[in-house]
Amino acid sequence: MSNTDLTQLGAKPKAPRVPLKWDHSATAISETTTLAIERSRAIRDKIAALPRSSCTFENVFLELAKEESELENTTGPLTFYQYVSTQDELRNAANTAEQRLNEYGIEASMRIDVFEALKAAKANIDKEELKLAPEENRLVEKLLLDGKRNGLDLPEETRNQVATLKKELSNTCTEFSKNFNEEKGTVTFTKEKLKGVPEDVINGYGKKDDEYVVTFKTPDLMPVLKHAQDPETRKEILQASESKLAINVPLLTKAIDLRRRLAKLMNYKTWADYVEEDKMIKTGKAVEEFLADLRKKLTPIGLKERDELLKIKKEQHERYGYPFDNEFYICYYDNAFIEKFLDLDDNFIKEYFPVEVVVPAILEIYQELLGVKFRVSPEKVGTWHPDVQHFEVWDADATTEKDFLGDVYLDLYPRENKYSHAAVWGLIQGFLKQDGLRQYPVACMVANLAKPTPSRPALMRHDDVVTYFHEMGHVFHGLLSRTTFGRFHGTSVARDFVEAPSQMLENWCWEPSVLRRVSSHYETKQPLPDDLIEKLIKSRYVNIGLFSLRQLFFGTFDIKVHTDTTGEIQDYSKFWCDLREQVSLVKTGDKITPGQGSFGHITGGYDAGYYGYLYSQVFSADMYETVFKKDPMSAESGKRYRHEILLPGGSRDEMDSLKAFLGREPNSDAFLKSILGTPNANPSAANL
């Protein structure tokens, strides 16, 4: 299928929705947020005023579900401006709106009168022995659990303390994120100090006097860490990157302390126990055991890999005349290992992955696999920046407007003040409206792919291709979910499962047939040759022990600070650096650096949850090996995945979705085989 086929769709029925508008002013953001909060508060007032004997599923649970979705869908696009807008006033207004919404969310969550109405409605449902649909039962269960987790069973004085601390925590995390999003640090180097960095990358850097200006955004940073020959250059930029958000250190310390105090007030042993309660893993202790067991399995592998990399380092330092310290710091020698033993040059490989080829090719693969079609809207649809693309998404065999699935925006290139990593935002939840019509979802993928240089088009490292494929997995989780209630839509699943579908989809980027489809050398237009494909696939698990230990380090730091009940850890910067060396076997340098100030996950919803990246790999590996490995492009398997994993979202227990997809209980065989070479003798996702 050619790229132009993205715009083709039979008779082209009109999408049954009004596209989002992106022409807000700062005043409009503020005023709309105010109205949305007032409307939400009025609905909750009405529910709270109901006589307890008159509380029903319809006038309490359904009304709250409707109110939640209306508030989310009205304000989600407004707060999104803080991550993507080029205008200071819009970013500031969006940030302020998010703070106000977070504060209102705490107010709403602490309303004992609404909680009493919920309990009365549940009692009336039970008394009348009403039969609810499975998703309706889940709504009842989750709303009541929310009340308990918000401390509404506690005495009034304690509830007031909880509300105050939650507001303080919310504001602290919002400030942390604002600093993260608006970070503008740079390091300058002479051309000599950048020796080894690809010429096209250097040409893309800004210049100040006779030096090149390197930012900490991925397209700038990673080529220096992976290719700069001079170890002092790599050390300088690594330590600068680790220190770029020192401003966030007191904010993170404050957030951790607030969480510790909140957990105690709400009668949880630790903040981790509070967070894990509604996840698949259930307790903080189970997280600690999972990470400790994995560390025990991975450390011997990582030590062997480290020794091999130190041999390469010694060889290079002797060759170039650098002193050898017998220490390992970061990915330069990982890349050198691949170049030496696999004769695989990362910079040469990326010549086969022009952005203009990869992006539409990956869209085509998703369309084929999941039975959907992208279409450029026949009507003019605005965006927040000229670089942004918009597509309608339809069922592949669409003939009527009922086959419309939703909208997607792609914001793929770096710019100042834009979110600096890759992520997906669900801007609009999908759900079934009370008139029986569907609210269609809207998703946006934000990335920072390389831009063209004077000598080359925009090219992607293979790592970037994997990341793009992963993030598109989140996009489709949002677009292809079909739930009754917005709170269960798409990626609104347990946080330690949410990455599993996208992690599974990364496997496509290591399949020979897919690599041929997404590659085309920017000059010769030829796909990756078979010998390079073979080398690339062999590189996948090179130094997998060290790679996994790095993830383990992040998860361990996260769980340690959120299971510390006494404030025993006094210096989080020292703890960060010491733990990094102990777990990941990698040093930061010769000084303590505040790397935790850049750990955005810990204030962005993944607190006591980073373990989920590794935990969900147990499920993702099992899903791929069991269903897709024999034929990754099987339309039948794609349909099964769409129906059993994507469609239900969080409307049923994640384990039920897994069992329906796999045809059995999940196990850790495939995961352990991928990183250790052999499966566990007694595999279990829960006991890995």
Q: What is the tens place of the pLDDT at every residue in 69-113?
A: 999 999 999 999 999 999 999 999 999 999 999 999 999 999 999
Q: In what order do the strands lie in the sheet with 186-189?
A: 186-189, 211-215, 206-208
402 vs 398: CA distance, rounded Å: 8
**pLDDT band with cut points at 50, 70 and 90 for residue 11:** low
Q: Is 70 exceeded by the pLDDT of residue 686?
A: no
- CA quadruple 642, 645, 648, 649: dihedral, nearest 10: -110
**pLDDT band with cut points at 50, 70 and 90 for residue 5:** very low
Tokens of 328: 């390992």
At residue 136, the pLDDT reads 98
pLDDT digits (tens, 9 = 90+) for 496-551: 999 999 999 999 999 999 999 999 999 999 999 999 999 999 999 889 999 999 99
- Chain-centroid distance of CA 443 in Å reads 13
pLDDT digits (tens, 9 = 90+) for 143-169: 999 999 999 999 999 999 999 999 999
138 vs 131: CA distance, rounded Å: 13
Mean pLDDT confidence for 232-238: 94
Task: Give pTM, 2 decimals.
Answer: 0.87
Tokens of 22: 């992106």
**pLDDT band with cut points at 50, 70 and 90 for residue 445:** very high
CA distances from 390 to 6, 382, 406 (A): 12, 8, 11
Q: Which residues of 279-298 are buried (b: 16+ CB within 10 A; e: fewer)?
A: bbbeebbbbbebbeebbeeb
394 vs 381: CA distance, rounded Å: 17
Facing residues of 391 across strands?
Answer: 408
Q: Is 60 exceeded by the pLDDT of residue 9?
A: no
CA distances from 315 to 45, 337, 458 (A): 72, 12, 34
Known catalytic membership, residue 534: no
pLDDT digits (tens, 9 = 90+) for 463-506: 999 999 999 999 999 999 999 999 999 999 999 999 999 999 99
606 vs 615: CA distance, rounded Å: 13
Backbone angles phi, psi at 373, to 5 degrees: -135, 135
Q: Write the DSSP string, 251-295.
A: HHHHHHHHHHHHHHHTT-SSHHHHHHTTSSS--HHHHHHHHHHHH
Nearest to 548 by CA among 264, 319, 290: 290
At residue 4, the pLDDT reads 36
Mean pLDDT confidence for 249-258: 97
Q: What angle do CA 561, 275, 270 make, to 5 degrees?
A: 50
Instruction: Yes or no: say if 485 and 69 are a contact pair by the CB < 8 Å rule.
Output: yes
- List Cβ neighbours of 554 (8 Å cut-off, separation of 6 or more): 599, 601, 610, 613
pLDDT digits (tens, 9 = 90+) for 379-409: 889 999 999 999 999 999 999 999 999 999 9
Tokens of 370: 């999941």
Mean pLDDT confidence for 338-352: 89
Mean pLDDT confidence for 661-674: 94
Among the ranges given (45-54, 181-190, 319-328), the one the predictor scored with the smallest mean pLDDT: 319-328
Q: Is 60 exceeded by the pLDDT of residue 6?
A: no
Percent of the chain scoring above 90 in pLDDT: 87
Q: Is 60 exceeded by the pLDDT of residue 211?
A: yes
Nearest to 176 by CA among 253, 231, 111: 253
Task: Please give the radius of gyration of the chain, using alpha carbons only, rounded to the nearest integer.
Answer: 25
Burial of 589 (0-12, 13-18, 19+ CB in 10 A): middle
- List Cβ neighbours of 363 (8 Å cut-off, separation of 6 or more): 6, 374, 472
Mean pLDDT confidence for 182-204: 94
* Active-site option among 98, 305, 471, 499: 471
pLDDT digits (tens, 9 = 90+) for 547-584: 999 999 999 999 999 999 988 899 999 999 999 999 99
CA distances from 85 to 80, 279, 533 (A): 8, 34, 39
User: Could you count the other beta carbons within 10 Å of the beta carbon of residue 240?
Assistant: 16
